[in-house]
């Protein structure tokens, strides 16, 4: 029996590729070369499914040009702002993502950003590596303590709630902003804010955990930054598009934002050069879910979604 063709746009963990090869006529990408929309359309000829990644823009034009054989697109990510969902729906193509399995790893990255930014770990590492460290000094690289501070979480979904769980171990008081208030079992005593003003005023540390897309584009702009307590810590492991970079860079220069930690950027892998000139921002290369266990689980979940759609079932991770 011929097996359905599965196009995998990037190199995936070995266990995930092994399963893809076992169950599909898998078109893999052993060189891990980045794919463009046109390239994906060409490679997808005759494919029933595409397993894509957040680095590829599956925009409306790309989806319109896909062959009729494609029945499902699964993205190797929880975020699906890079997939034109309405265009997929219009063509009857299902879209799946990888929720839940990456919440812990991503929340760990948020905690890493908070601590690294507030305790000046990037600066310290650069000092040691450059051979410029003269030894311990009472006033050297003083950061700000995060234990006991108020943490504002913008977007209290699965990852936001995992961040809250971890931050409670640091004695942080959890505040959050979302479209609706969570039920008490999910809220776990966190303080809900009905408006940006009170939320931002409370956020000594602000973590962005909302999805990307038009609804949140440049949410953290100059006007909102001005509402933060002076010297606040800002971290983003969600999507770079949530931040107005010029406004955040100006605030990092003026001290309105004391420290920032960024794992995501609006036009990855490009990083606004304004950040590179600043010592008080820690920059990571989109490491959010990058653990071996998590990347395996993401791949398996994406394949579960593809298996289900091609078998005529509706998987739990289908978003459209």
Residues labelled as active-site residues: 239, 268, 286
Residues in 102-121 that interact with ligand DGY by CB under 6 A: 102
Applying CB under 6 A, among 160, 240, 288, 315 the residue interacting with ligand DGY is 288
Applying CB under 6 A, among 16, 40, 74, 78 the residue interacting with ligand DGY is 78
3-state secondary structure (DSSP) of residue 103: helix
Task: Considering only CA atoms, give the Rg of the chain.
Answer: 21
Specify which residues 259 forms β-bridges with.
233
Tokens 């702002």 identify what position?
81
Contact 23, 310 (CB under 8 A): no
Give the nearest distance from C-beta 80 to ligand DGY in angstroms: 8
* Residue 84 token pair: 């034109």
Pattern 48-67, ligand DGY, x by CB under 6 A: ------x-------------
Give the nearest distance from C-beta 217 to ligand DGY in angstroms: 16
- The answer to whether 240 contacts ligand DGY (rule: CB under 6 A) is no
Give the nearest distance from C-beta 284 to ligand DGY in angstroms: 12
SS (H, E, C) 157-222: CHHHHHHHHHHHCCCCEEEEECCCCCCHHHHCCCEEECCHHHHHHHCCEEEECCCCCHHHCCCECH
- The answer to whether 4 contacts ligand DGY (rule: CB under 6 A) is no
Applying CB under 6 A, among 48, 77, 204, 236 the residue interacting with ligand DGY is 77
Which spans of this chain sit near ligand DGY (rule: CB under 6 A)?
A: 54, 77-79, 102, 288-289
């Amino acid at each position: 029996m011929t097996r359905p063709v599965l196009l995998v746009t990037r190199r995936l963990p070995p266990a995930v590729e092994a399963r893809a090869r076992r169950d599909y006529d898998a078109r893999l990408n052993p060189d891990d070369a980045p794919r463009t929309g046109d390239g994906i359309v060409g490679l997808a000829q005759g494919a029933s499914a595409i397993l894509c990644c957040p680095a590829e823009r599956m925009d409306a034009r790309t989806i319109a040009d896909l062959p009729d054989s494609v029945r499902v697109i699964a993205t190797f990510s929880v975020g699906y702002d890079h997939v034109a969902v309405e265009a997929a729906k219009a063509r009857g193509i299902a879209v799946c993502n990888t929720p839940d399995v990456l919440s812990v790893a991503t929340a760990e990255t948020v905690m890493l950003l908070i601590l690294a930014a507030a305790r000046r770990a990037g600066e310290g590492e650069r000092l040691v590596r450059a051979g410029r460290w003269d030894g311990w000094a009472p006033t050297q690289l003083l950061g700000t303590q995060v234990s006991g501070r108020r943490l504002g979480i913008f977007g209290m979904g699965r990852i936001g709630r995992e961040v809250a769980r971890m931050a409670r171990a640091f004695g942080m008081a959890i505040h959050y902003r979302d479209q609706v208030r969570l039920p008490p079992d999910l809220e776990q005593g966190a303080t809900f804010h009905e408006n940006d003003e009170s939320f931002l005023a409370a956020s000594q540390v602000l973590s962005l955990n909302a999805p990307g897309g038009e609804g949140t584009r440049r949410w953290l702009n100059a006007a909102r930054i001005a509402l933060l307590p002076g010297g606040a810590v800002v971290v983003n492991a969600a999507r770079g598009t949530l931040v107005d970079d010029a406004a955040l860079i100006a605030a990092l220069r003026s001290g309105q934002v004391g420290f920032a930690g960024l794992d995501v950027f609006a036009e990855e892998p490009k990083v606004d050069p304004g950040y590179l000139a600043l010592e008080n921002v820690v920059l990571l290369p989109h490491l959010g879910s990058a653990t071996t266990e998590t990347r395996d689980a993401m791949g398996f979940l994406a394949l579960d979604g593809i298996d289900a759609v091609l078998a005529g079932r509706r998987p739990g991770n289908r978003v459209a």
